[in-house]
Amino acid sequence: MTFCLDASIIKPEKDKEIKNAIILLHGYGGDGNDISMLSLNWKRHLPNTIFVCPNGHERCVINPSGYQWFDLSNDDPEYILEQSIKAENKIDQFLGEIKKEFNFNNKRICLSGFSQGSMMSINLGLTSDEEYNCIVGFSGKIINQENLKSRKKVSTSTLLIHGDSDQVVSPNYLLEAKDFFMRNNIDVETHLIKDCDHHIPIEASSIALRYILKKFNNL
């Protein structure tokens, strides 16, 4: 099947049944290959999981070799919200194609992402008609709390991880997101990684893996 987004797809070994999926959404200027590196360690512990790592639907304005989920060259909040919702719609279409191809429902899918990809995962995971298994966000934020609250349909359990020295997306956004989740009665776990800037260190990857294993094992 041809999907609406180009994607790196890492399948289990041939003798393993595909039971779950992790969707990995890259950050601004990255691509699916970048974030697929998380699967190198995770797949050993998740032998029945397929890892799906799509490229953004637009070439990145400041890095044409990479992709973006929404444009950041214009910092107007309304413009960013409008562009992010367009990206949501495209990713949602892609997720529908993945679910049809592999016969999944949302409960078998973890939405994860880094930076801009984390922002998209949060929005998608809370505005869907059916809860996803979980959301795992690295170094992200909520794009627009008022808008997300008005569109929220479900309360997908969420893990948020951030570096305390992040100069790109302030760690203050982790605290703001935690407050939003708690006020809206959504199960949330947060971790602030010491001496960590805007990347995913081994510690964060390990925390995320343990969380996903717990959530998949509860199915």
How do residues 75-117 score in pLDDT, each as one tens digit? 999 999 999 999 999 999 999 999 999 999 999 999 999 999 9
As a whole number of angstroms, the distance between CA 210 and CA 187 comes to: 16
Domain assignment present for 107: yes
Domain assignment present for 1: no
Domain assignment present for 108: yes
Q: How far is CA 32 from the centre of its chain?
A: 12
Domain assignment present for 129: yes
Domain assignment present for 2: no
Q: What Cα–Cα distance (Å) separates residue 70 from each residue in 91, 134, 150? A: 12, 23, 21
User: Which residues, at least 6 apart from 15, have a Cβ–Cβ distance to it below 8 Å?
Assistant: none
Instruction: Give the pLDDT score at 125.
Output: 98
E strand or H helix at 113 = strand 109-114
Domain assignment present for 202: yes
pLDDT digits (tens, 9 = 90+) for 14-73: 889 999 999 999 999 999 999 999 999 999 999 999 999 999 999 999 999 999 999 999
Is residue 219's pLDDT more than 90?
no
The angle formed by the CA atoms of residues 48, 50 and 55, to the nearest 5 degrees, is 170
Instruction: Give the pLDDT score at 1.
Output: 76
Residues 92/97/99/100 CA torsion (nearest 10 deg):
140
Tell me the residue range of the domain where 168 lies: 7-217
Instruction: Tell me the backbone φ, ψ of residue 106, rounded to 5 degrees.
Output: -60, -30
pLDDT digits (tens, 9 = 90+) for 151-205: 999 999 999 999 999 999 999 999 999 999 999 999 999 999 999 999 999 999 9
Domain assignment present for 115: yes
Number of domains in the chain: 1
Instruction: Give the pLDDT score at 114.
Output: 98
Q: Residue 196: how many CB atoms within 10 A of its CB?
A: 19
Residue 42 sits in a domain whose CATH number is 3.40.50.1820
Domain assignment present for 32: yes
E strand or H helix at 32 = helix 32-35
The angle formed by the CA atoms of residues 135, 140 and 144, to the nearest 5 degrees, is 95
Buried b / exposed e across 156-178, counting CB within 10 Å, b at 16+? bbbbbbbbeebeebebebbeebb
Q: Let me know: does 132 contact 20? Beta carbons within 8 Å.
A: no
pLDDT band at 141 (very low <50, low <70, confident <90, very high): very high
